[in-house]
A = this chain, B = another copy of it.
Amino acid sequence: MNSSGKLRIEIIAVGSELLTPYYQDTNSLYLTRRINELGMNISLKTIASDNLDDLIYCFKQAQQRSDLILTIGGLGPTLDDKTNEAVSASLNRKLIFKKEILHQIKNLFRKRNISMPSVNKKQAYIIEGAEILNNKKGTAPGLWVEFDSKIFILLPGPPVELKTMFEDQVLPRLLNLRQGYQSRLVLKIVGLTESKTESLITDLYPEENGLEMTILAYPGQIEIHLTGFSISSLKKAENRTLKLSRLIRDRLKEHVFSASGEKLEEVLGKLLSRDHSTLATAESCTGGLLGHRITNVPGSSDYFLQGVQVYSNTAKIKLLGISEALVETHGAVSQEVAEKMAERIREKAQSSYGLAITGIAGPGGGTKEKPVGLVYTSLAWKNGVKTDKNLFSGNREIIKFRSSQKALDMLRRFLIKRD
């Protein structure tokens, strides 16, 4: 424990592949989130190779500095799986053969109609004095090893095995060590820059202990992560985040589109479903991304009827019946063409709404008058049409994403204003 009485907790991910440029440990993000929820922080993360001597050295150092050590991976049946062996050596404890574990592993293979390969016998050896954590999703048992009022928790590497074992068997045991309660809330924002968001809520940065606010910026989207702590109850932690989230929502109003993790296209889908409305799209520079995002939502066939990707001018003229003269006079990237695209696809599809995007995604194709990033987004409804002129920054893919985000958001704002 450190001077403040907090447990020192560390995570060690084992595997030489995690020390190459190809793979990255992501299990630790999940473990961190779940452990944070018990009011505990992670002090250190280590990624170690399969080398036995290195592993023993690494585990010995960990024993000195931490109270709780979670290891990930290296529990498999092959020669390069050495976590078990290394922890036993670092603790100076024997590996003991457990008949009942061998039995379980053999059963698992029998269910799959294969006989157990002899290498798997290795997984039936466990560290003396350890508690076994059953693996419902694979052959490698996990271990809970106590020593000198400290704990090693050995978890398998495959994410589904690790998560199942952690939820079922580690979390209940960790509750005894709980140092508090954490509540988390994420507000998602569209239509504001990071600096604008920050300036609107800068005086709301919590000063009290037990409440944290983090602003994360992504292309076309800002997230505000709120974390509340309480030593005594989850309710108190939740009240803290809820109170702050209400203050933030009062400031940011309709720019907040979600407080429950939903994507913009999901929020829009719910609004369309609620109204029994339908939608059609006409895309130029986004090339289909808008329709792709809309149809990523299960059940979108209830409201998304059709779209056109009118990439060439000919397509704009022939598929949507926009007059050649209009395209020639104003150019394909213009308010006039965007408007017509939205109106015509709505008429064609006989949908409640039409969304259209035309712009220059780059890297080529920009001019002084119409630079890369210039994008018109249009929304047509029964009695009207509205067009926004945008100048987006970023590379081709980011400009495409920002364009689709803006189009989705135009319709979302239209639908919530009608409430």
Contact = CB atoms under 8 A, between A and B. Distances in A.
Contact of A295 (B42, B291, B311): B311
B58 A44 contact: yes
B24 A24 contact: yes
B26 A21 contact: no
Interface residues of A, number: 70
- Residue from A21, A24, A319 with most neighbouring chain B CB atoms (10 Å): A21
Contact of A46 (B46, B285, B291): B46
A253 interface: no
Given A24-B29, A294-B287, A57 B46 contact: no
A292 B296 contact: no
Contact of A349 (B30, B61, B225, B315): B315
B319 A311 contact: no
A21 B36 CA distance: 9
A180 interface: no
A39 to B, nearest CB: 14
A30 B42 CA distance: 25
Nearest to A3: B53
Interface in A337-356: 348-349
A177 to B, nearest CB: 18
A117 interface: no
Contact of A45 (B22, B47, B295): B47
| Chain A interface mostly | mixed
Interface string A261-291: 0000000000000000000010101111111
Interface in A344-382: 348-349, 361-365
A289 B18 CA distance: 32
A33 interface: yes
Nearest to A291: B288
Interface string A229-262: 0000000000000000000000000000000000
Interface stretch (A81-89, A96-104, A302-310): A302-310
A296 B54 CA distance: 45
A163 interface: no
Contacts of A36: 20-21
A32 B47 CA distance: 13
Nearest to A295: B287
Contact of A291 (B32, B33, B287): B287
Interface string A4-44: 00000000000000111110101001101100100001111
A26 B41 CA distance: 21
A44 B33 contact: no
Nearest to A287: B295
Nearest to A36: B21
Nearest to A397: B296
A221 to B, nearest CB: 14
B308 A309 contact: yes
Nearest to A297: B396
7 contacts: A20-B214, A46-B46, A287-B288, A288-B292, A288-B309, A295-B309, A308-B308
Given A283-B291, A291-B311, A295-B400, 5 more contacts: A19-B45, A44-B54, A288-B307, A292-B292, A292-B400
